[in-house]
Structure 1
């Protein structure tokens, strides 16, 4: 017995008196039956049957007492197996890219994998789910699961600060714990923003293209019929009509290009970019590419750019498109021989980025068309493009970034655009978590400013990535 497991000795020692009592009780019972047989109370057959039954029952109880103290190998073996399975499950959960949370009594977050912590910007486990995800339908489904009710699927969407679409899967889990609250709720969040945007993008593209292309296609059809009929032999009319047809064809090409560009931007607007770019270098490249267009109208550029790189967090191609749209508009809407001023500032606070430049004129109006989430630690790179055109009346400023919106007087003629340029600028700036503002005064000109976030220090990078990701999830 020296090598016997302690748990076996602990269980066997108390059972020895029990076995002795069973044997004594069985002997006393047989003696009673024997006395009854001698006294003539029992027949020999009945005595034999009763003695056998009593002996069998006593033997069964004796065996029960002997085996009760034996060790339970399953308990000794199962415990490490279960522990290993839990460790494997936890390791697998940590690697899953889908946000998964385990919600306990009172709506407290007991477990959250890294994807969930990034998606909801969780500081630490143990907090209330309602403080990170303020969606009543999801919270109601979690409460129902904590009561042991059936799981459910909840879809919710938010429009501010960034449009997002999420499907939440809620399932009850019964935990092997004692107590009045054994139920937990498993919450899985699936981000379906990209698929929703793709569906809407296809519908919007067809609607916008069919609407905006109808006019130039009608013009082309009319000119073609005229050239095939009355103007068949009229060289002067043919040349004039072909020139107009070329202009309409170019407009349709620009319109399709802008629609595709806008669709691509909207597709990924909820995902902030992670690359870096030099804002000053982009401005120089844009000026070089548009210089022929400016020379054709005798327009000169006045540059005020820092010599050192103005690093920002962003997609270089999209930032280039922003600057190109703003400079091209400034060239188109300035009179011949005018000056287009381009200025870049680096490492500015939000207040300076939004309000630093002096006003164009005492009566000018300034409006913020898109703004970033508030963060006092964030610094920005700023680009400001000013023209010397006719200016824009203050009543039109709020609608400048709408699709296909063009101010009266800009809807026709050689400077007529597609009405999508500033909408593209706004969506790109919104994706970059930056700001976009306009200032204008009638008769003085207009100034468009964009400010884009600078890269954060390495020590704060992880926390800021969580905050940027969470800005696409509705917390309010």
Structure 2
């Protein structure tokens, strides 16, 4: 915050308030003048009239020296008090800049007189002198400001501030109460985005969990009643029902795990990752981790490139989860009709690259992702998971990353799908400032390509499109 110009009421010192010249100094000066004049008379240098005139001038000078202060005497107290006032204002400025909430001072015309550092970070450096209506485009905030002026009291309003990240905030405004305020208002903005996210996540969690758990719980209750009834003495029926109950219980476990994971991702979505990771190393690790899963599913993960390196800034565990979820989906739903065996390709690369010659697509294009990331499309890096199945219908492509959306419910439930795997992928990729491009070619398969901004610095040693 800039220190404002304040009027400092400092009066020049009077003769009574100044420390007088020492009496001995005046006597010595007067004696010296008298001795000099006497010597001049004796020597005949001055006539009596001239000596009288010279003595009068010298006396007048001494009198003025006594009565009139020097410039140093006048301005020294003024300079000291002004310095103290400036230092006091600087302390206030440091105090306001230390506040995490944006604070601004408005004049009687709702123009911003001054603001603290948090306010400049939120709205930019050039806001001083601008009308607040052009800075905060929220009718509720302007209404609270008018009400505060009309009622001469503090007002609050819940507002949304649009920008790169939309913020939920509390807008507080109050008139200043001092004689020289002249219509000035103090405004404070408190970011409540995380609080609103927590409330929304809690509501969504309860609604989604209730909806998805209702069916397996009802199924379990029905089987328990059956086992308590006529099937309690039938070993074959008990074994059959218990196997189904185990499958439903495992499905509920996966559902709760995915819901908790999704809620945690949403909570940290605005915090950018900071680790230096290698996409090639992540792809190799996930291939090895998912090999037993592919074997149990009668599938195959096709080996990708080795001895390569393509680096980015990311969260290693979350990127591993992205690859795992995509491979798991491909193994479940990417089997070919002729062999009923899924072949999954995991590749990494840089720059825009299409999985198929001609395909339907949905999601973010490399150009859109590059604009958001502030880099050239050729600088983007990606990890892709592609299957050789029958492909995905064009009408389903835009909705694949929605929560609990399934293209084939009858096929999804036996496979143990929760409908949250791709939603989790979308949130992780979004946290990394990336985007997902989904491509599908009927009879050739489907591909999910996750593009990310490159790591700042030297380029990787992986050629484009590898």
If the length of structure 2 is used for normalisation, what is the TM-score? Answer: 0.71
* Aligned match of 1:98: 101
Measured in 1, the distance between the counterparts of 2:91 and 2:331 equals 63
SS in 1 for 2:345: strand
Measured in 1, the distance between the counterparts of 2:158 and 2:129 equals 23
SS in 1 for 2:408: coil
* Aligned match of 1:377: 375
Q: Judging changes above 3 Å, is the alpha-carbon distance between structure 1 residues 453 and 170 closer, same or farther for their aligned structure 2 residues?
A: farther
SS in 2 for 1:171: strand
Give the 5 Å matches for 1:85-164. 85-104=88-107, 109-120=112-123, 122-124=124-126, 126=128, 128=130, 129=132, 132-139=135-142, 141=144, 149-157=152-160, 162-164=165-167
* Aligned match of 2:354: 357
SS in 2 for 1:401: coil
* Aligned match of 2:45: none
1:191-243, Cα deviation, whole Å (9 max, x unpaired): 11111121222222222222211111111122222223222232222222221
Contact kept, 8 Å, 1:334 with 1:387, in 2: the verdict is: yes
* Aligned match of 2:34: none
1:403-461, Cα deviation, whole Å (9 max, x unpaired): 11111255545324011111112222223322112111333211111112234469xxx
1:293-312, Cα deviation, whole Å (9 max, x unpaired): 01223433234457454332
* Aligned match of 1:82: 85
Measured in 1, the distance between the counterparts of 2:11 and 2:206 equals 79
Give the 5 Å matches for 1:453-472. 453-456=453-456
Contact kept, 8 Å, 1:175 with 1:184, in 2: the verdict is: no
Q: Judging changes above 3 Å, is the alpha-carbon distance between structure 1 residues 159 and 340 closer, same or farther for their aligned structure 2 residues?
A: farther
2:346 matched to 1:342?
yes
* Aligned match of 1:170: 173
Give the 5 Å matches for 1:415-434. 415-434=415-434
Q: Judging changes above 3 Å, is the alpha-carbon distance between structure 1 residues 83 and 269 closer, same or farther for their aligned structure 2 residues?
A: same
Measured in 1, the distance between the counterparts of 2:91 and 2:421 equals 52
Return the offset for 1:113.
Answer: 3.1
Measured in 1, the distance between the counterparts of 2:109 and 2:294 equals 66
Return the offset for 1:116.
Answer: 2.5
Picking from 6, 12, 35, the partner of 1:7 is 12
Measured in 2, the distance between the counterparts of 1:154 and 1:285 equals 50
Contact kept, 8 Å, 1:103 with 1:186, in 2: the verdict is: yes
Q: Judging changes above 3 Å, is the alpha-carbon distance between structure 1 residues 283 and 249 closer, same or farther for their aligned structure 2 residues?
A: same
Contact kept, 8 Å, 1:163 with 1:270, in 2: the verdict is: no
Give the 5 Å matches for 1:28-39. none
SS in 2 for 1:102: strand
* Aligned match of 1:366: 361
What is the root-mean-square deviation of aligned Cα atoms in Å? Answer: 3.7
Give the 5 Å matches for 1:399-438. 399-408=399-408, 410-438=410-438
Return the offset for 1:388.
Answer: 1.5
Measured in 2, the distance between the counterparts of 1:6 and 1:262 equals 68
SS in 1 for 2:443: coil
Q: Judging changes above 3 Å, is the alpha-carbon distance between structure 1 residues 74 and 272 closer, same or farther for their aligned structure 2 residues?
A: same
Return the offset for 1:171.
Answer: 2.8
Return the offset for 1:166.
Answer: 1.1
Contact kept, 8 Å, 1:383 with 1:449, in 2: the verdict is: yes
Return the offset for 1:319.
Answer: 2.3
Measured in 2, the distance between the counterparts of 1:6 and 1:82 equals 15
1:327-348, Cα deviation, whole Å (9 max, x unpaired): 11111112244321112123x4
Q: For structure 2, which runs of at least 5 residues remain unmatched after alignment? A: 1-9, 18-73, 459-466
Contact kept, 8 Å, 1:276 with 1:314, in 2: the verdict is: yes
* Aligned match of 1:466: none
1:113-136, Cα deviation, whole Å (9 max, x unpaired): 33333333x144536355554334
Contact kept, 8 Å, 1:108 with 1:127, in 2: the verdict is: yes
* Aligned match of 2:287: 287
Q: Judging changes above 3 Å, is the alpha-carbon distance between structure 1 residues 134 and 260 closer, same or farther for their aligned structure 2 residues?
A: same
Measured in 2, the distance between the counterparts of 1:421 and 1:132 equals 40
SS in 1 for 2:284: helix
Q: For structure 1, which runs of at least 5 residues remain unmatched after alignment? A: 13-70, 459-476
If the length of structure 1 is used for normalisation, what is the TM-score? Answer: 0.70
Measured in 1, the distance between the counterparts of 2:121 and 2:303 equals 41
Give the 5 Å matches for 1:104-253. 104=107, 109-120=112-123, 122-124=124-126, 126=128, 128=130, 129=132, 132-139=135-142, 141=144, 149-157=152-160, 162-173=165-176, 182-253=182-253
* Aligned match of 1:269: 269
**Number of corresponding residues:** 384
Highest relative contact order (Cα 8 Å, sep 6+), 1 or 2?
1
